[in-house]
Amino acid sequence: MNPHQKSHEQTSSLPPSATPSAPPSATPAATPSAPTPARPNHRFLWISLSVLGASLTVLGTAMAAQQQGTDVALATVALSKSIGTWCAALLTIGILTFLYRDNPFYKVCESILIGVSAAYWMVNGFWSTLVPNLFGKLMPGVVRDVAIPSLPVSATPGFDMALAFVPLLLGLMLLWRLSPKGGWISVWPLAFIIGTTAGIRLVASIEADLLAQASATIRPLVVFKETVLVGGIGAGSTTTSDPSVAMAASVQALDFWGTVGAVTGVVGVLSVLTYFFFSLEHKGAVGKSARLGVWFLMITFGSAFGLTVMGRITLLAQRLEFLFKDWMGIS
């Protein structure tokens, strides 16, 4: 049999569903369109250039006034004040631009703020801590001659020098964290610092918070105030606070608002402690006392938050006063 006929018979014997069909025509893929380039936003660039131009204008005006003025010292002070005022005003406005949205001007001002703050506290810590407490103990003569002439003279310089090597060694061990292989050395002084600070702060917190609050709670519920009555000759009795006046007699009168404050303080402490007492189910009298404690807590938190907000509003008012009064000259 012809191989061609045999292949034709096998194909014709297949069911219709199994008959090979021609492959579908391949649909050409759509060519992706090129992305539309974003339109550059030059708004902040123009704003920055405008601010820079205004600053240069004021600077040139101040320098011209310095050259033409008769009092050179006064013109120099005015020039330095103008530059400082403009820098402070531009930095303030740069921080306030974040209320609109994040922008490069705000980021620059934020970086300047963080950098200047870090540098200030580093220099302040160096001259107020390291120089008098470390170098002043290791080499007091050099520090007294070069940096701090008023450095006090120690009665035991040898003992102070030996004791100063302990923080010096701990500080050098802390610097090992910058090393790629000696980071474990810095764990020991770090643990010493954390443990010492925790112990000192714990004692201070117990004395300032716990004992102070406990002593403020242990107080009489009924408060009296002392009043001195003076009887004059041929005159009616008058009230005075001078106990040295003749024929004086002191009596005790009820202090209404002092009593209300004492009772409110005790009730607030007990109700708040009841709210945090979970050994009993908050039902009945215990539940009512716990709900009263929630009211005291909310009033306390609200007052603290309001005080914080008022402090921030005060800072904002000071900056606005600086902008309008010192910078723009609007009194």
pLDDT value of position 223? 84
Which is nearest to 248 in space by CA: 227, 269, 234?
227
Percent of the chain residues topping a pLDDT of 90: 27
Average pLDDT, the chain: 78
Overall size of the chain counted in residues = 331
Report which of residues 150 and 5 the model is more confident about.
150
Is the pLDDT confidence value at 17 over 50?
Answer: no
pLDDT value of position 326? 85
Question: Do the strands 224-231 and 248-254 form a parallel or antiparallel pair, or are they unpaired?
Answer: antiparallel
Q: Give the confidence band of 190 by pLDDT, cuts at 50, 70, 90.
A: very high
DSSP secondary structure, 129-142, as one string: IIIIIIIHHHSHHH
pLDDT value of position 298? 96
* C-alpha 200: how far from chain center: 23
pLDDT value of position 235? 44
CA angle 316, 322, 326 (to 5 degrees): 170
Asked if residue 161 lies in contact with residue 143, where contact means CB atoms within 8 angstroms, the answer is no
Q: What is the mean pLDDT of residues 51-79?
A: 56
Q: What is the mean pLDDT of residues 272-286?
A: 90
pLDDT value of position 11? 47
The domain locations on the chain are 47-176, 219-254, 258-331
Report which of residues 115 and 56 the model is more confident about.
115
Distances in Å between the Cα of 204 and the Cα atoms of 199, 213, 214, 217, 257 are: 9, 13, 15, 19, 32
pLDDT value of position 232? 47
Q: Give the confidence band of 207 by pLDDT, cuts at 50, 70, 90.
A: confident
pLDDT digits (tens, 9 = 90+) for 86-104: 889 889 999 989 988 888 9
